C-alpha cells in the first residue's frame, strides 16, 4: 500500500482484492433495485408477522382488553379484511387460524416472489 488513501483489502471470495478495481463503480440502478426488492420483502414479512402474531395471541387466549393485543388484532383485521370468513367452520380456533393464516401465506408468497422478480431486473 503505497497510497495512504487506498482502500484496505477485503477478504471476500466473490470479489477478491484488486487495487485497480474501482470500488465505487456500482450502478445506482442496481442499488435502487435491491433496495426496492428489500422493501417489498420486508413489508410482506411484517404483514405476515402481524397476522401470525394475532393467530398466536388468539390461540393462547391473550387478554382482548390489552392495548397491544387490540393493536395487533386491529392490524390483522385490516390486513386480512379481504379474506374474512372464507372458512366458516364451527371450531373457533381453527377458523381464526385459517382465516388469518391464508392471507399471511399469500403475503409471504407474493412478497417474496415479487422481490425475487424485482432483483432479476
* Structural domain boundaries in the chain: 51-120
pLDDT reported for residue 89: 85
pLDDT reported for residue 20: 59
Residue-averaged pLDDT of the chain: 84
In 3D, which of 96, 100, 87 has the Cα closest to residue 61? 96
Phi, psi at 80, each rounded to 5°:
-105, 20
Grid cell of 12 as nine digits: 471476500
The answer to whether 67 touches 88, Cβ cutoff 8 Å, is no
| Region 8-15 average pLDDT | 61
Say how far apart CA 83 and CA 44 lie, in whole Å. 16
Say how far apart CA 64 and CA 68 lie, in whole Å. 9
Predicted model pTM = 0.71
- What's the first-to-final CA gap in the chain, in angstroms? 38
Say how far apart CA 72 and CA 78 lie, in whole Å. 10
Amino acid at each position: 500500500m503505497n497510497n495512504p488513501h487506498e482502500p484496505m483489502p477485503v477478504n471476500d471470495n466473490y470479489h477478491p482484492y484488486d487495487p485497480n478495481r474501482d470500488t465505487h463503480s456500482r450502478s445506482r440502478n442496481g442499488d435502487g433495485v435491491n433496495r426496492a426488492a428489500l422493501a417489498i420483502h420486508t413489508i410482506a414479512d411484517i404483514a405476515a408477522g402481524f397476522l401470525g402474531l394475532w393467530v398466536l395471541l388468539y390461540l393462547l387466549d391473550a387478554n382482548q382488553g390489552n392495548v397491544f393485543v387490540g393493536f395487533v388484532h386491529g392490524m390483522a383485521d385490516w390486513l386480512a379484511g379481504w379474506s374474512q370468513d372464507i372458512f366458516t367452520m364451527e371450531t373457533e380456533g381453527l377458523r381464526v387460524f385459517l382465516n388469518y393464516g391464508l392471507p399471511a401465506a399469500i403475503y409471504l408468497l407474493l412478497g417474496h416472489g415479487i422481490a425475487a422478480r424485482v432483483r432479476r431486473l
